[in-house]
């Protein structure tokens, strides 16, 4: 199993997360949720937990939006499109 480490840059996909936390089909096409397809983030904390009765492994990864990473990737994309 691979997990990001603190300060790593990651791309969070909120729509995929909504699929996991909402009852089946409830979120699809709903105007209640206006979320971007992805958010550039930095990892703030990672906690791993193992369920004693099942040996299932769960990870809680805490993220914060990363405007600097978004800006750098956006500029890189603009430079490619201009060449």
Q: What is the pLDDT of residues 38-62, one digit of tens each?
A: 888 999 999 999 998 998 999 999 9
pLDDT higher than 80, residue 34: no
Rounded to whole angstroms, the Cα distance separating 54 from 43 reads 27
Q: What is the pLDDT of residue 80?
A: 84
Q: Can you give the pTM of this predicted structure?
A: 0.64
- Tell me the C-alpha distance between 42 and 26, whole Å: 29
Pairwise pLDDT comparison (4 vs 24), residue with the higher score? 4
Tell me phi and psi for residue 71, to 5 degrees: -60, -45
**pLDDT value for 66:** 87
Helix (H) or strand (E) holding 71: helix 67-82
């Amino acid at each position: 199993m691979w997990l990001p480490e603190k300060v790593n840059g990651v791309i969070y996909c909120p729509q995929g997360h909504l699929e996991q936390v909402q009852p089946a089909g409830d979120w699809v096409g709903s105007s209640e949720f206006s979320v971007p397809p992805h958010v550039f983030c930095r990892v703030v904390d990672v906690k791993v937990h193992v369920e004693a009765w099942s040996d299932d492994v769960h990870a809680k990864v805490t993220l914060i939006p990363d405007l600097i990473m978004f800006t750098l990737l956006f500029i890189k994309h603009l430079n490619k499109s201009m060449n």
